[in-house]
């Protein structure tokens, strides 16, 4: 599916509110699109401080180790990381920035 | 890597998982690269998770003797299976015919030896091999010359006889390939290439013949022995020219009887020994655990049991990444104190980076009675998942699981050190499933802070027992297999971890005998007793799995390869082999999903008087809407009560989960067709059933049917409904009053 920043902002909010839940069919379709990444350049989380800190990383065929680590992208929870990578992928596809957060409880 | 990125720099292993007080442990340690200074010490692991929602990583000091600081260097790691024979070709012969039926695997992008007498020291001898471009070749190396003769092109994935004729008198080499086996294209003639030998004089300076590899050169190179990837059958050497008819018979797996040496792999398939049927007495020994009891060139497709038709299974499958024993030198030894309590321990190697934990288990000695409560450590499961190759399927995981893939330093280190065999969920380099797993190699993912479906998740059971002050012993799957029900002598309540998935037939028999003697079981996980495995005294502490007859796993056994080589039993899932899981646990695997977990909701059966003791102090209908990692008590993998499959009809289904997403998928064996209705929102079978039943022998069974259950125990300092229910069950199961059938 093509992702449209204005039209799909509500789906972004739905994900932000609860990344680990039963998603609406529209969000599920959007997630399938966002999660489609080249295996040679695929994002993942590295556990750097068990139960406390996660670092964003990706496979990188140009790196000697096969990986690139984003040492400035550290998260306190998997939920926080999910939202950050959601925003990163959203921008890659739409060219538009999502807010760091939404107002909790407000309508889109 | 940067200092901010945690890195595993030293790893190790022991001979086996299970020890007793007074035993000695040999410890093998290697650096992963440059030398690493480390301080070894033995700790007791009470909780193997640092998660802040739980008690945190709990390591206890032990009475083991202090160990001196050491420096780890990188040790050479053996990998790749082959056969070492005691046969050396005679030097005083004027004609040699040698070869084997083979089915090479993809890819063929490196040199692979079929039959070799090349000496490791000076490289002299003879090697029949496949070269980097896929041609059959023969190397003749004397102290004067090394000549490689290139023969016909070899077809990948096809059975063919690959052979060489050396005519010393005529000074010629003939290399030939021809289709072989019962399904070959018979009209195709042999493809032959004749070349001049080139050497002034043929001198046979080889050593004992090796099948499927050249002789080992020292060093850590993973391809140092040019190991073969594929199947071999009926290798033989003759001291004469063969007739056309004899070549045709060899193509059908029946080489002439007057061989100098000829090995029939259909004999002794449960063993590591291969038999020379020439009568000249040159047996061979399998090294690094190649796969026996695999379909050969004569497999007709009409038989699936190698014990019924061994001649159809006269092949051995070799892999250049098979690994039974890394072959490291012993780094140091540890004496287990005579007063060492049964528990879970680790040899912790503290160093400047991520510490290594070499986990081992101390169980009660033979003849010693267990305490009332025994925790069953899932060592078979740890082996099956040992060195799980996360990065080999990274593309698949996130979309399939519905959450970002999380890796630990151990996953990165495993990826960066590919000379260690991966898990029974992974593939060999030729894309066939890995069916063996051995303890004699570093297990990167057996350590604290790994996945909650394994060692770390299991440890919440131990930390719960510790929190309630319940004394207990630890018995491993290996103990249960080796000693049967005697491993549980004295035990009243057996408690499992979160994921006791792999069971051998003796393990199942031991649990059944335990229950029939009045013992009670607390099955605090899911996916239990799912795959049948086998052990072999020939390959100590290793397991074999065949993923056949349905089952939800990472790969499928090849057609005709359903039966375990170690025992001859049909492999696959226990559901198809007597449904032991339903009979003994009350439930069986129903779904798998890794995005989030849900709570349990009480069913009317939970108000049955038989279950009153379970819910004492529990208020409300929702149980376990919390948990470490996945946020609920019902998740990752879940089981259901199903009387049609063998669950006891009198069992009480106390509570069930609901609200799973479509990433929680029903198991393959419940479907006869592919369907969109496999996931949690559409499939009524996607639920975890918490079950209680009386066994009829005085004991009872409590099954939580969820891998996430133990991860919910520690929430709020073990003060929650999940912990209350679990503790209630344990207290009642320990009482002397027997349970009667309703």
Sign of the C-alpha dihedral computed for residues B341, B346, B349 and B352 taken in this order:
negative
* Residue A103 distance to chain B (closest CA, Å): 23
Write down the pLDDT at residue B403: 94
User: H-helix or E-strand containing B505?
Assistant: helix B505-516
Find the mean pLDDT for residues A2-7.
Answer: 93
Predicted confidence band at B219 (pLDDT cuts at 50, 70, 90)?
very low
* Residue B408 distance to chain A (closest CA, Å): 5
Q: Which chain A residues are within 8 Å of B6, Cβ to Cβ?
A: 46-48
From A22, A37, A78, residue closest to B406, measured CB to CB: A78
Residue B727: C-alpha distances to residues A62, B27, B38, B522 (Å): 53, 37, 40, 11
Find the mean pLDDT for residues B568-574.
Answer: 96
Rounded-to-integer distance, Cα B431 and Cα B428, Å: 5
**How much of chain B exceeds pLDDT 90, in percent?**
86
What are B98-147's pLDDT values in tens digits?
999 999 998 778 899 999 999 888 888 899 999 999 999 999 888 878 88
| Cβ neighbours of B486 (radius 10 Å) | 16
**Cβ atoms of B486 and B667 closer than 8 Å:** no
ipTM of this complex prediction, to 2 decimal places = 0.94
Do β-strands B531-536 and B539-545 pair in parallel, antiparallel, or remain unpaired?
antiparallel
| Cβ neighbours of B694 (radius 10 Å) | 20
Write down the pLDDT at residue B84: 95
Find the mean pLDDT for residues A71-89.
Answer: 95
Q: Which of B54, B58, B404 to mutate to test the interface with A (most CBs of A within 10 A)?
A: B404
Least confident segment among A39-43, B247-251, B342-346, B679-683: A39-43
Q: What residues does B639 pair with on adjacent strands? A: B589
Q: Is B319 helix (H, G, I), strand (E, B) or coil?
A: coil
**How much of chain B exceeds pLDDT 70, in percent?**
97
Q: Which chain B residues are within 8 Å of A22, Cβ to Cβ?
A: 659, 661-662, 680-681
**Cβ atoms of B310 and B301 closer than 8 Å:** no
Rounded-to-integer distance, Cα B523 and Cα B498, Å: 8
- Please state the φ and ψ torsions of residue B506, each to the nearest 5 degrees: -65, -30
Q: Do B404 and A67 touch (CB under 8 A)?
A: no
Tell me which residues of chain A have a C-beta less than 8 Å from any C-beta of chain B. 19-23, 28, 31-32, 35-37, 39, 42-52, 54-55, 57, 59, 65-67, 69, 71, 78, 81-82, 85
What are B507-557's pLDDT values in tens digits?
999 999 999 999 999 999 999 999 999 999 999 999 999 998 779 888 999
Write down the pLDDT at residue B201: 63
Write down the pLDDT at residue B554: 86
Q: Tokens in use for B486?
A: 């005697």
Q: Tokens in use for B106?
A: 């993809």
Sign of the C-alpha dihedral computed for residues B409, B415, B418 and B424 taken in this order:
positive
Write down the pLDDT at residue B199: 62
Residue that has been written with the tokens 């039926």 in this structure: B101
From A20, A48, A59, residue closest to B403, measured CB to CB: A20
From B56, B404, B409, residue closest to A82, measured CB to CB: B404
Residue B606 has pLDDT above 90, yes or no: yes
Find the mean pLDDT for residues B5-31.
Answer: 97
Write down the pLDDT at residue B188: 65
DSSP secondary structure of B625-653: ---TTTSSSEEEEEEE--GGGT--TT-EE
Do β-strands B24-31 and B332-335 pair in parallel, antiparallel, or remain unpaired?
antiparallel
From A21, A45, A47, residue closest to B449, measured CB to CB: A47
Rounded-to-integer distance, Cα B311 and Cα B294, Å: 11
* Residue B389 distance to chain A (closest CA, Å): 14
Rounded-to-integer distance, Cα B442 and Cα B359, Å: 10
Give Cβ neighbours of residue B375 (< 8 Å, ≥ 6 apart): B461, B462, B465, B472, B473, B474, B475, B495, B496, B497
Predicted confidence band at B202 (pLDDT cuts at 50, 70, 90)?
low
Mean pLDDT score of chain B: 94
Q: SS3 sequence, A4-39?
A: CCCCCHHHHHHHHHCCCCCCCHHHHHHHHHHCCCCH
Q: What residues does B404 pair with on adjacent strands? A: none
Q: Do B406 and A47 touch (CB under 8 A)?
A: yes
Residue B185 has pLDDT above 90, yes or no: no
Residue A1 has pLDDT above 90, yes or no: no
| Alpha helix segments (H runs only) across B133-181 | none
Q: Tokens in use for B167?
A: 């005519």
B243, burial (CB in 10 Å: exposed 0-12, middle 13-18, buried 19+)? exposed
Q: Tokens in use for B420?
A: 């260690």
Find the mean pLDDT for residues B711-722.
Answer: 98
Write down the pLDDT at residue B720: 98
Residue B395 has pLDDT above 90, yes or no: no
- Alpha carbon B707 to its chain's center: 20
Predicted confidence band at B203 (pLDDT cuts at 50, 70, 90)?
low
- Please state the φ and ψ torsions of residue B140, each to the nearest 5 degrees: -120, 120
Find the mean pLDDT for residues B651-656.
Answer: 98
Find the mean pLDDT for residues B229-237.
Answer: 98
| Closest to B476 measured CA to CA, from B359, B639, B330 | B359
Q: Do B408 and A45 touch (CB under 8 A)?
A: no
Rounded-to-integer distance, Cα B291 and Cα B354, Å: 35
Rounded-to-integer distance, Cα B254 and Cα B247, Å: 9
Residue B685 has pLDDT above 50, yes or no: yes
Entry pTM? 0.96
Find the mean pLDDT for residues B44-57.
Answer: 95
Residues in chain A: 108
Write down the pLDDT at residue B543: 98
What dihedral do alpha carbons B277, B278, B281, B285 form, nearest 10°? Answer: -50
Predicted confidence band at B200 (pLDDT cuts at 50, 70, 90)?
low
Write down the pLDDT at residue B636: 97
Find the mean pLDDT for residues A54-65.
Answer: 92
Find the mean pLDDT for residues B583-607.
Answer: 97
Tell me which residues of chain B have a C-beta less than 8 Å from any C-beta of chain A. 1-2, 4-6, 49-54, 56-57, 391, 394-395, 398-399, 402-409, 412, 415-416, 448-449, 595-596, 630-631, 659, 661-662, 680-681
What are B412-439's pLDDT values in tens digits?
999 999 999 999 999 999 999 999 999 9
Residue that has been written with the tokens 């049991």 in this structure: B305
Rounded-to-integer distance, Cα B377 and Cα B380, Å: 9
Helices and strands in chain A: count of H runs, count of E runs: 3, 3
Residue of B nearest to A41 (CA): B395
Residue B163 has pLDDT above 90, yes or no: yes
- Alpha carbon B147 to its chain's center: 41
Do β-strands B700-703 and B520-523 pair in parallel, antiparallel, or remain unpaired?
parallel
């Amino acid at each position: 599916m093509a992702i449209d920043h204005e039209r799909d902002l509500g789906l972004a909010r739905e994900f932000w509110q609860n990344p680990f839940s039963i998603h609406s069919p529209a969000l599920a379709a959007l997630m399938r699109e966002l999660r489609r990444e080249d295996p040679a350049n695929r994002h993942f989380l590295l556990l750097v401080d068990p139960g406390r800190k996660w670092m964003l990383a990706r496979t990188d065929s140009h790196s000697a180790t096969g990986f690139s680590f984003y040492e400035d992208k550290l998260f306190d929870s998997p939920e926080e990381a999910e939202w950050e990578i959601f925003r990163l992928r959203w921008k890659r596809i739409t060219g538009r920035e999502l807010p760091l957060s939404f107002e909790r409880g407000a309508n889109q | 890597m940067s200092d901010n990125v945690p890195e595993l720099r030293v790893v190790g292993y022991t001979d086996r998982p299970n020890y007793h007080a007074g035993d000695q442990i040999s410890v093998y340690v290697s650096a992963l690269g440059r030398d690493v200074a480390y301080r070894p010490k033995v700790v007791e692991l009470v909780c193997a998770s640092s998660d802040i929602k739980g008690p945190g990583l709990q390591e206890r000091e032990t009475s083991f003797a202090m160990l001196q600081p050491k420096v780890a260097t990188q040790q050479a790691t053996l990998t790749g299976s082959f056969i070492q024979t005691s046969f050396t070709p005679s030097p005083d012969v004027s004609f040699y015919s040698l070869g084997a039926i083979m089915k090479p695997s993809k890819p063929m992008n490196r040199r692979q030896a079929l039959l070799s007498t090349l000496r490791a020291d000076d490289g002299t001898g003879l090697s029949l091999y496949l070269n980097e471009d896929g041609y059959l070749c023969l190397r003749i190396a004397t102290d004067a010359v090394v000549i490689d003769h290139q023969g016909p092109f070899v077809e990948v994935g096809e059975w063919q006889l690959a052979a060489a004729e050396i005519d010393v008198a005529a000074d010629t080499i003939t290399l030939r390939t021809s289709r072989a086996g019962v399904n070959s294209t018979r009209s195709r003639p042999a493809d032959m290439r004749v070349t001049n030998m080139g050497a002034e004089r043929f001198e046979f300076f080889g050593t004992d013949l090796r099948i499927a590899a050249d002789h080992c050169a020292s060093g850590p190179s993973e391809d140092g022995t040019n190991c073969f990837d594929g199947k071999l059958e009926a290798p033989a050497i003759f001291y004469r020219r063969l007739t056309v008819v004899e070549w045709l018979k060899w193509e059908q797996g029946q080489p002439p009887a007057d061989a100098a040496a000829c090995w029939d792999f259909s004999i002794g398939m449960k063993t590591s020994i291969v038999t020379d049927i020439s009568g000249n007495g040159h047996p061979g020994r399998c090294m690094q655990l190649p796969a026996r009891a695999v379909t050969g060139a004569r497999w007709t497709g009409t038989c699936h049991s190698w014990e019924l038709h061994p001649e159809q299974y006269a092949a051995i499958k070799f892999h250049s990444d098979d690994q039974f024993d890394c072959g490291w030198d012993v780094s140091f030894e540890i004496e287990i104190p005579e007063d060492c309590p049964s528990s879970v321990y680790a040899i912790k190697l503290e160093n400047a980076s991520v510490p290594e934990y070499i986990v081992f288990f101390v169980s009660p000695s033979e003849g010693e009675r267990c305490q009332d409560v025994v925790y069953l450590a899932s060592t078979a499961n740890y082996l099956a998942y040992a060195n799980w190759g996360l990065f080999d399927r990274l593309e698949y995981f996130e979309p399939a699981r519905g959450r970002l893939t999380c890796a630990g330093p151990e996953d990165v280190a495993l990826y960066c050190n590919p000379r260690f065999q991966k898990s029974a969920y992974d593939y060999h380099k030729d894309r066939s499933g890995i069916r063996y797993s051995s303890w004699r190699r570093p297990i990167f993912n057996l350590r604290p802070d790994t996945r909650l479906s394994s060692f770390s998740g299991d440890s919440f059971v131990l930390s719960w027992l510790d929190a309630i002050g319940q004394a207990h012993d630890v018995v491993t799957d290996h103990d249960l297999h080796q000693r049967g029900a005697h491993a549980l002598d004295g035990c009243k309540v057996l408690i499992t971890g979160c994921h006791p998935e792999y069971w051998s037939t003796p393990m199942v028999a031991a649990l059944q005998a335990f229950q029939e003697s009045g013992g009670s079981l607390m099955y605090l996980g899911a996916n239990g007793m799912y795959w049948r495995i086998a052990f072999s005294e020939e390959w100590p502490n290793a397991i074999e799995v065949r993923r056949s007859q349905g089952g939800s796993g990472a790969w499928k056994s090849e057609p005709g390869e359903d039966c375990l080589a170690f025992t001859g039993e049909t492999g696959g899932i226990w559901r198809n082999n007597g449904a032991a899981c339903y009979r003994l646990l009350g439930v069986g695997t129903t779904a798998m999903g890794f995005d989030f977990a849900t709570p349990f909701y009480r069913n009317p059966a939970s108000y049955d008087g038989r279950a009153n003791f379970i819910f004492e102090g529990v208020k409300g209908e929702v149980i376990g809407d919390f948990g470490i990692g996945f946020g609920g008590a019902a998740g990752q993998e879940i089981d259901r009560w199903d009387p049609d499959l063998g669950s006891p009809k009198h069992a009480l289904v106390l509570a069930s989960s609901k609200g799973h997403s479509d990433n929680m998928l029903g198991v393959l064996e419940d479907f006869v067709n592919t369907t969109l209705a496999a996931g949690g929102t559409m499939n009524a079978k996607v639920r975890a059933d918490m079950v209680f039943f009386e066994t009829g022998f005085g004991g009872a069974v409590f099954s939580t049917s969820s891998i996430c259950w133990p991860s919910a125990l520690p929430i709020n300092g073990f003060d929650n409904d999940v912990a209350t229910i679990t503790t209630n069950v344990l207290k009642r199961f320990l009482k002397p009053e027997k349970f009667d059938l309703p």
